[in-house]
Chain A
Amino acid sequence: MRPDVCRLGGRSPRRLLRPLAALGVAAVTASVLAACSSGGASAKNTLNIVEWTNAAAVTYTQQIDALFEKEHPGVTVNLQTAPTANAGWPTLESSVLASKNVDVLAEFPPGPAGYPPSYTHISTGNPAALVTSHQLVNMANEPFMKYYNKTNAEYSAGYDGGIYGVPAAEYVNVGGMWYKKSLLAKYHMSVPTTYNQFIADCKVFKANGITPVFVAGKDGYQNILFAGIYNQLIMQGTPASDATTLSLNRNKAFWQGKQEWTDPVYQTTASEYEQVMQYIEPEAAGVSAQTAPAEWAVQSNDYPFFIDGSYDGNTITQANPSLSLGFFAFPGTNNPAWNRAPLAPDLTWTVPTWAKHKTLALQWLALFSEPSNYAGWVKATGSLSTETSVPTPALKWTDWLSAHMNNAYDALTTPWAPNGAPVDATEPNTTAMQPIGSVPAATALQDSTKDYLNAVKGAK
């Protein structure tokens, strides 16, 4: 006889299951309600801030967070960070955007070149894509925006009449060069103001057994030098106020094939770059950007020059507090007046339109933007000030910057390149170029030209 699998101990299982099911439903309901009442309450008052790892910036953000929590009892600020190296930051950014779990998001600002004309058919990436799809709050009319330099804010986060971010930081990236004051003083040198003077200084150092230049070649930081040179060469004699127009016209000229990487200005750039690179640490190709600032800082008697942006000022000084250091923009020309500071807007706070705590997010930005708080931020991060009433702090390495801020200009952007274009289409690949790589500079320029033209042709 076939056993009846539905009978349990002679008692109808349906009679057993009914109370069990009721119990189960009650338990699930109770837990859901409990979760809603406890976790829900905390989620309701948790402001989620996401920024990339920059030790000084993160520490100061935490101080602002603590202040905000004090001023807003019952509100908790949750700060998430990830390093920009090894794809950590883009991964975190994608994750919080996909889950819509962020209220204040740090972004690298797109600048005007971040919005290519429609005829290019280029699909923009972050954060331009967020702006054009109306997912970032327009802050143009927020009261705290009055503190910021309007031109600066429009350049970094402006689009179609709106301002979609708070321009919290600005640095000198391309052309950035650190130096050891004591080493220069030892050999009776001052900050080089022309290209020839820089090369002459390098020759003196090399003759004295000192390796003149240090760079994080593993992460392509030598590109800071290459781009720094052509920025100075292209901008020579041009007023700083024309930089944006010049930059956009250059992008257009590249797209139309009227400008190429083999043009004379880039040939000169490559030639100057090759000369400087003769003086770098021979194994610089293996030095990573994460360790380079500290490695340079602790070697007080070697490497008088270090190719790196001004954003690493605090990392360097923390690694060797007694180091006497300075910063200047690489002189790409032989006319001191033409060698100016190319500026690059950096960390920009944005608020998504779908943020769960938009009001709290804007209140946090208002607190951050208060001149007294912002002054602490620029001092902690070494950023150039973007607020009109807050001066760029006088740190031990900012003397050159302070003296050259009045004629600084917005750095040129890289040409528009179709999606999927080879990396050297947008700029010659200095990692492949000698001495980091094995390709002669002239060949690298030809490769870039060919790849750019092919990519644009493919896109058309």
Chain B
Amino acid sequence: MTACPFGTRRTRRWIPWLSISVPALGWLVFVLYPSAATVYYSLTQYSGVPGAPVDYCGLCNYRMAFTSVSGPTWEALKVTLVYAAGVTVLQIVFGLGLAMLLNRRGRMFSLYRALVFMPQIFSVTIVGALFSLILDPITGPAEKILHGLFGASSAFLGDSNISLLLIILINVWMFTGYTMLIYIAGLRRIPRELYEAAALDGCGWWSRFRRITWPMLAASTTVNVFLTAMGCLGEYALIILLTDGQFGTQTIGMYMFQQAFGQQSQLGYGSMLAMLQFAMTLVIGGVVLWALRRREVQL
């Protein structure tokens, strides 16, 4: 029999199992256990303080969440949907527009693309601090510009009428570069011949966009819509920094974070909110993916 560090032929059959045991162990410890713990904690009253009692209470947290239709959970769900829809639509529009504008050769266009992509690499903390200073109604430049141009003033992030819109715009500013890059990759895969044939047929710009560009970018749109929407459904970091969830900006992710990890934290209640967030993301993600895939096939 051949001397082999991996054992005999009989023992070698265990090698694949041994090989997957390490990642499987990692998955059990870092994915399955926290997920199962979240499900369990959502059925308890637990502050999250290590060593503090974990009191099983069944569906008490779920009951409390839906005690009132005007309660914070419903409000947070509504805000999350508006936020996700707003960011997704605007990011697709701006990302596609910029991709079409900057999908050209030349050093300057490379620079422009880099500039548009640049906010993506900034830390959320930096972006939050930056816009908090820009939008400060006493010392910020935005107030001075608004006052100089229109003689008006605004509390900006402290104004419930516009605070959510401002956060949507800041998010779009930060991540549009990413959407643009995916669209540029999609644009470069569209055969030139299609545009040449359309030009010969006398198609105008709008007709070429509607009949060639947009349908051919279906796969890129699927990726962009799915990634953007999923990212937004769990958003909280930017909101903490800009408004701390005040002024009608409390998303379900933000509410969950505050309950689970904020001052006077309640991990049990926060876990219940995480479960709701998970269910919402699963349903919306599934529907969005199904609809976009179906659209791809139809196009």
Contact = CB atoms under 8 A, between A and B. Distances in A.
Interface in A280-315: 281-288, 291, 295
A97 B50 contact: yes
Given A220-B246, A286-B137, A286-B157, A125 B3 contact: no
A422 B266 contact: no
9 contacts: A6-B2, A13-B3, A97-B49, A123-B45, A133-B53, A295-B138, A419-B266, A451-B68, A457-B67
A86 B72 CA distance: 19
Contact of B5 (A17, A217, A284): A17
A438 B159 CA distance: 10
Interface string A116-160: 000001011110011011010000000000000000000000000
A419 B61 contact: yes
Interface stretch (A70-78, A87-95, A249-257, A400-408): A87-95
Interface in B97-143: 128, 132, 135-139, 143
A6 B2 CA distance: 8
Interface string A199-218: 00000000000000000011
A283 B2 contact: no
B230 interface: no
Nearest to A98: B50
Contact of A458 (B3, B63, B240): B63
A454 B158 contact: no
Interface string A1-45: 000101100001110010000000000000000000000000000
| Residue among A17, A421, A457 with most chain B CB within 10 A | A421
A94 B265 contact: yes
Interface in B28-87: 45-53, 55, 57, 60-61, 63-65, 67-68, 71-72
B55 A123 contact: yes
A69 interface: no
Contacts of B269: 419-420
A159 to B, nearest CB: 14
Contacts of A459: 60, 64
B269 to A, nearest CB: 4
Given A87-B240, A282-B153, A283-B138, 8 more contacts: A6-B4, A121-B57, A123-B266, A123-B268, A126-B47, A133-B52, A458-B64, A459-B60
B278 interface: no
Task: Classify chain B: how many residues form its interface, as a range.
Answer: 35 or more
B289 to A, nearest CB: 32
Interface stretch (B193-201, B204-212, B217-225, B253-261): B253-261
Q: Give the top 3 A-B pairs by smallest Cβ distance, nearest first.
A: A285-B158, A6-B4, A286-B158
A90 B160 CA distance: 26
A284 B155 contact: yes
Contacts of A90: 261-263, 265
A6 B52 contact: no
Contact of A218 (B4, B51, B243, B262): B243
Contacts of B143: 283
Contact of A94 (B48, B61, B71, B157): B48
B298 interface: no
B132 A288 contact: yes
Interface in A423-438: 423, 431, 436-438
B296 interface: no
A242 B135 CA distance: 46
A274 interface: no
Contacts of A98: 50
Contacts of B137: 283-287
Given A87-B261, A291-B139, A422-B71, A437 B50 contact: no
A283 to B, nearest CB: 4
Contacts of B272: 420
